[in-house]
Structure formats: C-alpha cells, structure tokens
Amino acid sequence: KALSSVQKTMTAKGLTLIVFDCYRPARAVADMGQWTREAGPPDPQWYPTVRRGDLIAKGYVGGLSSHSRGSTVDLAIAEPGKKGTTHPACGAPDGDTLDFGTGFDCFDPMSETSHRPLSAKAAANRKMLLAAMHAAGFRNYAREWWHFTLAKEPFPKQRFDFPVTAP
C-alpha cells in the first residue's frame, strides 16, 4: 500500500517507479555473503573503489539483509516512454531511469544519498525520490540512494527464506 501511494504520486507528475529489487530469500543473502568472502579486486562496473572482500564491512552488502524481511525495496524513477540516463561507469545499466548520478547497485561513495558533488539534475532527482518515499513511510539507507525500508516494518526481526519461482 505504501509503495502504491508513491506510484500514485509519481503518476500525477507524469513519472513512474522502476523497481529493481524487493524481497530476497535469506538463502540468497547467504550466497551473496559467501561470494564476498571469496574476495577479489574492485570491479570497474559494480564496485570500482572497493575490494569484494570489503563489501560487507563497508556496508554495501548486508550479512543479514532487510530485503529478507519483505519491507525493503530498491527503486528509481523514470519518465514512461523516454530513454533515461545510462551510467556505464558504475552500477547497473539502468538506461530507463532519470539521472541519479550513478546506476543502481553502484557500491561506491558516489551512491550515498547525500553525496556531493552531483549534477543539479541528479541531486534534484534523488531529493524527489527521497521526499516521495519518506512521505509514504519509508526510510532511506544513506549509503544507497535507491534503497528504502518501511519505517514501521510488520516483521522487523524476521528473516524469510521462501523461494521465489516463476509460474
């Protein structure tokens, strides 16, 4: 319901939400944790300045993820029917979204919600997303402009592990 209210706000502005990630089974989180322990150098697309083995310690990957509680979502805003901004230097090639200064899942200080310097357009888009999500009862994870959790989570201490399968 809370996310639906944000979508209604965006629709009134001629925009739409793009959801990248929502519920994540605890087993997937454990697999991601294991992947980080395999270590490795920085990756120019996803984590250009951080070694893979440091992703959990630096807060870019959760050892226990709020996504497994079913009340966290990773998202951005897009203008329907318009090609957006692609950020090939860092993060997912999210070419359909507005400019947020980095792509989704860019594990770098540039992705911090209040990071500066940012272009005026990217800063305004981050501010718009933050305001809309806060108005609907979400709080932002300050290290990732795209990551929001319901402030009043229904299951704040629970982690779910049911698999998600295609029909």
Q: Where are the domains of the chain?
A: 2-149
pLDDT of 14 reads: 96
The stretches in the chain having pLDDT less than 50 are none
Which residue type is seen at 34? Q
Torsion angles phi and psi, residue 157, rounded to 5: -115, -5
Q: Are 60 and 107 in contact (CB under 8 A)?
A: yes
pLDDT of 50 reads: 87
pLDDT of 152 reads: 95
Strand (E) positions, 97-160?
Answer: 138-140, 147-150
pLDDT of 89 reads: 64
CATH of domain 2-149: 3.30.1380.10
Task: Indicate the pTM of the whole model.
Answer: 0.91
Q: Are 109 and 142 in contact (CB under 8 A)?
A: no
The angle subtended at Cα 15 by Cα 149 and Cα 117, nearest 5°, is 65
The angle subtended at Cα 100 by Cα 94 and Cα 104, nearest 5°, is 40
**Catalytic residue list:** 144
pLDDT of 137 reads: 98
pLDDT of 43 reads: 87
pLDDT of 146 reads: 96
Which pLDDT tens digit goes with each residue over 41-63? 888 888 888 889 999 999 888 88
